[in-house]
Copies of this chain bind each other. A is one copy, B any other.
Amino acid sequence: MPDKFHPQTRSAPGGAHDATRRALLDAGADVFAEVGFHHATVRDICRRAGANVAAVNYHFGDKETLYAEVLAEQSRLAMALHPLPAAGPDTTPAQRLEDFIRAFLQRVLSAELSARHGRMMAREMVEPTRALDRLVAESIRPQSAALSVILRDLVGPGPSEETLRLLGMSVVGQILFYCHCQPVLIRLFPGMPFNAERLDTLTLHITAFSLAAVRGLSQPPVAPARVPRRPKTPSPPAGRRRRS
């Protein structure tokens, strides 16, 4: 059964074949982003694609394979549409961080893509499918590495790899927040868009926030005097404390 004949690996473009295939990929992207893998029905996808109920099975074998294909394509599309600007020798690390953040935000919030990539990724976080492994390997890990390089340039050789990872996650966390938490943002600040419209604002804020943080953390000797922190060390015992 695993070897059932399905022309799923076809790559030759052109022809009526690919028209339906394309329509299915497009319809699938819409539907999967809208309602997620499980709520999506092949019937709906096929209807939107103007194809027969069996079209998904014919072209992709099954719903899950179509999903994986859509996810990968949306990822490639997001990357292609919003690539990291090439950095020259005179591009400062700060600028490269800003570039990274802007590109990342664009990919997950971009109106051109109807934010499909971002929404599909968000769902994947909550209900990972087999497609995630591939995505991590092909897309996320390289991005993570790229960010690490930028951050290393910013902090110098001192901080450990582990510290670098934490810094990176703080940056990425800020970005993804606007993607993952839209439903709350809409309810919390109605009327205020936190999406592609305000992409520039968000980019600049996250960049400035992160740069300030990284610089502040890289210069601990300067800091202690500025703010009268509690004499107690900032590493309190793990147990919960209660103060009057």
Contact = CB atoms under 8 A, between A and B. Distances in A.
Per DSSP, are chain A's interface residues mostly helix, strand or loop, or mixed?
helix
B136 A188 contact: yes
Contacts of A98: 234, 236
Given A170-B174, A173-B175, A189-B165, A128 B183 contact: yes
A76 interface: no
A187 interface: yes
Interface string A215-241: 111010001001111100011101011
B180 A126 contact: yes
A167 interface: yes
Range of interface residues on A (Cβ < 8 Å)? 35 or more
Contacts of A90: 243
A184 interface: yes
A184 B122 CA distance: 11
5 contacts: A119-B126, A126-B180, A173-B173, A209-B217, A210-B213
Interface in A12-36: 36
B173 A177 contact: yes
A122 B127 CA distance: 10
A244 B92 contact: no
A153 to B, nearest CB: 12
Given A47-B5, A91-B243, A180 B176 contact: yes
Interface in A156-203: 165-167, 169-170, 172-178, 180-184, 187-189, 194, 199-202
A242 interface: yes
A212 B208 CA distance: 11
B36 A127 contact: yes
